[in-house]
Amino acid sequence: MQINNPFANTDTLFCNGTKTISYGQFVTDVGRFANYFGEISNDTVALYIQNNFYLFCVCFFGLLCAHKNVALPGLLTPQNAHIYGNLTNVVVTDSLDEYPGFTKVLPNTTCEPIKWNMSDISAGTVYFFTSGSTGTPKQIKKTMAMLLCEVQYHTHMHANQIAMLPVVVASIMPHHMYGILWRVLFPIVGGMPVDMDMIFTPEELIVKQESYKQILFITTPSFLDEITKYGGQYEFPNNCLGIFTSGSLLHAKTSASVHAMFGVSPFEVFGSTETGGVAYRQQGNGEIWTLFDDVNVSIENGCLSISSPYCFQSPYLMSDAVEMIDDAHFKLLGRADRVVKIAEERISLADMETHLGNNEFISRAYCTKMRKGVRDIIGTVIELTDKGVQRIITVGRRVFINEIKNYLSGFVPNVALPRCVRIVHKIPTNAQGKFVQSDILAILNSSVVEPIMQNVIKTDSQMAADLTFLGDSAYFNGHFPEFPILPGVIQMHFVFYFIRLFFHINVSAFDVVKLKYSSVILPDTLTHLELTRINENEYGFCYSQKEKICSTGKIVIHGGRDV
């Protein structure tokens, strides 16, 4: 496959608001690394560079130009390195970790560059790994010819936006197929500058928008959910030409909110690592999906069977049930593998989630089959609308959950009604926006239920929220029978809980200093929490009620990991 280089040597390819790197410099750097990587005897090399996007791109293309196949683990640790050992024992990384059984190659070199162009890499192979949230990641082999073919289609499809020369800004990592296609190849093949920084917060997105005349934003449903939760805090510049998202389905309410905030309806890509892109939609035009031109489908047992030049094997049977509207359009009905049996009844979890999401009190829900004692039951995790928050505070958790079950009983048999329900501010998802089954089960199996949260404010260094610890929560039982108050240990539990939820740090070793309890926290009483990141390892917290301080302290973290 021949792909022409879209840039002259003086044109900007990478930038970050203050620094620019030309296409010519990129070509030189890739050629230098290709020469360096050519000394590696292995045919396949793992690439694991987390925090330097430009270095990742140079090494990715350098390995391909050195005629190496590239394995892209989304997460590589000393504990999980063995998963990738069947492919290679060499890893190119800037990590300080040592990986048992692997030879580390540090990405630094002063070799003379070799000449190359895009056509040189089309014969290469890239190994992707599915998220593996419920088990060992699945290995998917894609040729660069497949990936380049797919990205060329998208650049033609979005030629009008590309012609306006926006800067591509992203909140996704490049270590999975969506990241490679849309954050790496899409801007390079389309001839657009790409910002080297990864967006983690709405504030960072605003800074990028203010730095450039126009942008395209590559993101995930989970990031858009986050933005819309705190949308009232921010005013985004009106210079976003397009928002692209994939990884999981975008909720209709989120799509509408994003359109109101940015003036564009998100462009959703439906597909998988195995199939590549299959279809797209913009929910401003409705919920129906439109097949990409090169994709052919048939229906087997109600599910999509895909044949396309992007698919690692054709035909490929997906687990997604659909209703075909015509040859080019379909309605997505949910995953066929999310039909479970409870007491001999076949239950569609996706249908349950749809019914729950249509309730005025519920923003979205996730249902799963779980084990409770000797029985299989349905567990449900729910995010509330503003009306839902007010309702549960008014009537209490038990009454509210019974109301939801009564509502749901109009759509599903009694045996399918959820026996375990948890109300949360945010349902856990991974970086690709997919629900994390292990985290959801941890919430369902915990008796320490989340307080009801309102007026949440989140910045890079602070989280603040109004909390209501409902009186029928289990942690008030026995503390004390005649005068229930919130135990100090529960207050500390939620400090760590919110550090994990909002700052994405799972604390394993710590000290609590300057801890002071000044006033009791009563059930059903509005309590304000402020959590401040003082530095990378220190967090301060304060629980208060109006002008009254309830408790304060500081957490000093000695051990933890990003989540």
> Looking at domain 343-446, which CATH architecture does it have?
2-Layer Sandwich (3.30)
pLDDT of residue 431: 67
Q: What is the mean pLDDT of the chain?
A: 90
* Mean pLDDT on 243-249: 91
443 Rama class: left (phi>0) / alpha (psi -120 to 50) / beta: alpha
CA distances from 438 to 48, 132, 159, 273, 458 (A): 24, 11, 41, 21, 25
Residue-level pLDDT at 412: 87
What pLDDT, in 10s, does the model give residues 280-316?
A: 999 988 999 999 999 999 999 888 999 999 998 889 9
Query: 343-446 with 451-563: one CATH topology?
Result: no
Name the DSSP class of 180: I
pTM: 0.75
Contact call for residues 28 and 113 (beta carbons, < 8 A): yes
At residue 5, the pLDDT reads: 44
Residues 88-113: what's their mean pLDDT?
89
Q: Where are the domains of the chain?
A: 343-446, 451-563
pLDDT computed for residue 319 by the predictor = 86
User: Closest Cα to residue 418, out of 469, 344, 363, 356?
Assistant: 356
57-82 tens-digit pLDDT: 999 999 999 999 999 998 888 888 88
Helix, strand, coil percentages for the chain (3-state, nearest 5): 30, 35, 35
Distance CA(416)–CA(271), nearest Å, equals: 30
Convert the pLDDT of each residue in 386-436 to its tens digit. 999 999 999 999 999 999 999 999 888 888 899 999 999 989 887 667 788
Least confident of 11-25, 228-242, 331-345: 331-345
Portion of the chain with pLDDT greater than 90, in percent: 66
Helix locations, 412-504, DSSP H: 437-445, 488-503
Question: pLDDT band at residue 337, thresholds of 50, 70 and 90?
Answer: confident
pLDDT average, residue stretch 468-476:
93
Per residue in 28-38, pLDDT tens?
999 999 999 99
Joined tokens for residue 279: 């279809």
* Packing angle, helices 397-408 and 386-395, rounded to 10: 120
For residues 193 and 15, what is the distance between their CA atoms, to the nearest angstrom? Answer: 7
- Residue with structure tokens 């009564």? 406
Across the range 469-474, mean pLDDT stands at 93
CA distance 322 to 316: 15
Question: SS in 3 state form for 12-66?
Answer: EEEECCCCEEEHHHHHHHHHHHHHHHCCCCCCEEEEECCCCHHHHHHHHHHHHHC
pLDDT at 109: 78
Which pLDDT does position 343 carry in this prediction? 72
Measured distance CA(273)–CA(138) in Å, rounded: 10
The Cα-based distances of 428 to 75, 425, 437 in angstroms read 18, 10, 8
Domain 451-563 -> CATH class = alpha beta
Measure CA 324 to chain center: 29
Tell me: pLDDT of 232 over 80.
Answer: no
- Output DSSP code: residue 152: H
pLDDT at position 7 over 80: no
In angstroms, the Cα distances linking 281 to 257, 265, 270, 521, 533 are 16, 9, 8, 48, 39
